[in-house]
Structure 1
């Protein structure tokens, strides 16, 4: 289950320690430039070693972790937490997150009045 003597693909490790739900999501994040190892953007097949700093950007939040142990297979959450040291900043509180204006489904096109109210909320007018 562990691969302490070698290296592991970064997408496989991200998936194994539960920073991504699927391995394909981890590979897509790496391909899209959302994964950095020691400050450099890497591809999914990049070899990860113990002591590397991994930054994963997901859902508008950046996770910063230090690799403590290499694993190749997905493990339970309590074991996965032991494989890295989390240095991520705390998530923003719900008060700090801006509110997104949304229309109810099936409400149709916005009227001129609705559009002007949305522009006023966004600060465009």
Structure 2
């Protein structure tokens, strides 16, 4: 979806938005399988605990391959929880809540994107 373009010093940049719809079940089974595989390798002595890192687990995850870390997450419903999200993937994510996904109009979605575009990330400053 082409959102906007910008021309600076004769170079044109096209900004695009990637929308991914994920549920709480995406990746859960995979994380369990990875944990089992890593613990098996540790018990066999072919892997040390110090070898396991965020990068190791991220590289092993297939469900999120090709999907960048989210910049915006929309939570739907009464429960305000990040249960099911991998902490390092949402550390810089802007999180917005909506009461329901039912009858969500395109204009409302665009309003949310506009609100997000006004957010300023300060990275702890």
Which has the larger Rg?
A: 1
Classify the TM-score, shorter chain: under 0.3
- Identify the structure with the greater helix proportion: 2
TM-score (norm 2): 0.23
TM-score (norm 1): 0.23
